[in-house]
Amino acid sequence: MLDAAVRPGELPSLRIVIGENNADLALTLALLLDAEPDMLCVATAAAASAVLAAVDEHSPNAFILDMSLDDGPSLPLIAVLRARLPAAVIVVFTGHKNELLKAHCLQAGADAVVVKAGDFEELTLALRVAAQAAAMRVAGGGDSAGSGISADG
């Protein structure tokens, strides 16, 4: 369940890379995220290789990933990002409403899975809740497993 009590301004700013192979959707998300007071889209990428390049170039602390990118599925990318950036927020934004897929994403290291059919507020709330959980995980020295947030829209 998402914690509706999380408010903007309570968290450090999220520097977000969007991994989405639909250019129009990536641009729309970037514009909407940039309008949030605690979020900034620092890059969009259509391929996993470009997401990884953006890590070095932009020092993001959050990712929104579609399940399929131009160079393959995102599951391996989730694991790589979690290993490289244990404190990063990773939210999968997918058109698939499949419980097994969600479980695989969370097992790979995603913090949350949000179905694209939902509204934008579900995505921003998932990002904020995951950021809060990541901050607690880092402060407590906990493991890097995902927080298990799921929004079914």
Q: 144: pLDDT confidence band, cut at 50, 70 and 90?
A: very low
What's this model's pTM, rounded to 2 decimal places? 0.84
Instruction: Report d(CA 118, CA 151) in Å as an integer.
Output: 8
Percentage of the chain exceeding pLDDT 70:
84
Tens digits of per-residue pLDDT, 105-127? Answer: 999 999 999 999 888 999 999 99
**Amino acid at residue number 37:** P
Is residue 17 packed enough to be buried (19+ CB in 10 Å), middle (13-18) or exposed (0-12)?
Answer: buried
Return the sign of the alpha-carbon dihedral for residues 25, 91, 69, 45: positive
Tens digits of per-residue pLDDT, 125-142? Answer: 999 999 998 888 777 765
